[in-house]
Structure 1
């Protein structure tokens, strides 16, 4: 603390700082050990006499900003309760909540609503009678959109190809197929049913904070894998194959060809220009796959065995 002598006609001075320390300087500076109440006394004298002046100095602890909150994220809209944990005999609070409602507050323990997805900072400035302090936490609040579960599916005999239409992207997924099989976490799974019948399929989507579910009934009826007549069927040889498959009877225009793994879904895609072409299964493990050939009047699905 810097002291200033305002005495007049003083020749000799003695400062008593109330903590066992003293000084004879005119305008001394003194460091106190800690917060507290100190009786400061200044004694002055000259040849004509002496005088004494005393006053109490209140030293406050430094203001230190700190806070806590009940939630650091959620699906919009959601509320966050902030709690002031600052120390130092705080007398004022200045909160800043970018992206929040309200965007600022002078209350010690405000409640803020977040309505728009985003990553938001929070700042608190606190003050007492002698100093102030600020604490800013970057990216503290994570506000996510509420997920919406949705899907469609295409049947080919006992095989169902599911297309995930959920939003937004970046979710986790759990499919249950209604036949007692293990759930799937794939985005767009392919599932083979053991028997004909009605099956209730559910898709649960989750982000970090919340989730949504969609359900649909799938009916499996006896049908051939290829839906085209023999005259229209595309030739696919050899089957089984060690790698290359030769396709014939394709339309003249570009034809999309897709390969499906029974566990992983769509794994390879090709486009063939002209009535014949090849697709390569090199590098795939031996097993059963489905080859989809997209045609003007639908699609041909063929079970392919990789040796």
Structure 2
């Protein structure tokens, strides 16, 4: 029996001698979120240890700074630096192993810059660039259309742009592991162009002195102006858009010199002014018969000063226009057997069919010189030859029953004489009677005193 027990004990000792302690091999990997090493940085760790049962993590500069979990999850770094990561693994057999790595945490990389214009934006325009980027140690500038066209300096100094238009400015920065870029643009104003237009006052568009002209400056990229008006008042001006009165006859030169501090350019134009004849000439005016007026196809009311024909819709829609009317033509129908000019203040009492005018004027007419039995007389030939108001000024316009009589279309051309409420005298030359049914009308020329 003792022998059997001894044999069993020896076998047990032999079996126990064959067991070995399990070794520990500490190992781990990590991954940075978005591969972004600029603070704040989040790192996740993956434990690849073999043979371990217990773990001790140490994260220098990390939050949290330690862990005993196999996989510690996400560790965050909030400050720049090079930090040690240490993992110690062990097991029940007493095996221990440690792995140490370093991680570099960078400042945040922010790309930003400011642009400053020197003097002005007229070509050639100079700009400086202030680099406000952080966390970078390399810089790459690109200046579209600039001189220089590129730079690797942190602050590249002055860049000159000569070509007008928009130019893109691009800055790319890096810290060795990451790159960021930002693009902005600058605008260089066009080259200097000197130009102007002019608009003559409505009452002076025959260019008979005195003539008032409003000048419209259309210059491009100019900052100051010098005008010279030959024969004008004022003679010179530095206004951008001056108004000038010309009181001398003949060809006169207007000169505009524009500058922007870098360039100066000049343009000239000529204007011709004429002697004041005190005669306004109005040609090819259409005046409709009463149905044409009422149908709003050809109006019967005419304003000398506005040089405008009004129809019924215009007068009723804007009653204040009535006070502009100087001449009213009444044509009974398209046969033109009965036609006459009527004073605006008589149309509601003179057996005509027009609407009443607001604040109507009084105009005297001689429709039929042949029936007038008065001293006023003007032939068609005299009308055509009239170059000033001398003949009109000499006329004495008297309304008589015969002179107010209607006329037909037998005699063409026909001259109708009138005197306006303000005393100006004029003549109407009826050149043609146009039969267009209810839209029929006459065509007239008018010569009238300006003052």
Report the TM-score, using the length of structure 1 for normalisation.
Answer: 0.56
2:65 maps to 1:21: yes
Q: Look up the match of 1:224.
A: 275
Q: Which residue, 28, 50, 53 being the options, matches 1:11?
A: 53
Residue 104 of structure 1, CA deviation = 4.0
Contact 1:204 1:211 survives alignment (8 Å): no
Q: Deviations over 1:88-142 (max 9, x none)?
A: 1x122233333334444433222433222112332222221343333223xx301
Q: 1:245 to 1:172 in 2, by over 3 A?
A: farther
Q: Look up the match of 1:42.
A: 87
2:248 maps to 1:192: no
Contact 2:226 2:236 survives alignment (8 Å): no
Contact 2:126 2:161 survives alignment (8 Å): yes
Q: 1:149 to 1:244 in 2, by over 3 A?
A: closer
Compare relative contact order (CA 8 Å, sep 6+) and give the higher one, 1 or 2.
1
Q: Mind listing any 5+ residue stretches in structure 2 that lack a counterpart? A: 1-42, 201-206, 284-302, 310-382, 386-448
Q: Computing the radius of gyration over CA atoms, which structure comes out larger, 1 or 2?
A: 2
2:143 maps to 1:97: yes
Q: How far apart are the structure 2 equivalents of 1:50 and 1:245?
A: 110
Q: 1:117 to 1:164 in 2, by over 3 A?
A: same
Within-5 A mapping of 1:111-190: 111-137=158-184, 140-149=185-194, 159=211, 168=220, 174=225, 176-177=227-228, 179=234, 183-186=238-241
SS of aligned partner of 2:192: coil
Contact 1:98 1:121 survives alignment (8 Å): yes
Higher strand residue share: 1
Q: 1:180 to 1:206 in 2, by over 3 A?
A: same
Q: 1:108 to 1:12 in 2, by over 3 A?
A: same
Q: How far apart are the structure 2 equivalents of 1:175 and 1:201?
A: 11
Higher helix residue share: 2
Q: How many residues align?
A: 238
Q: Deviations over 1:1-45 (max 9, x none)?
A: 233546554333221112452222347431223333433222122
Q: 1:105 to 1:165 in 2, by over 3 A?
A: same
Q: Mind listing any 5+ residue stretches in structure 1 that lack a counterpart? A: 251-303
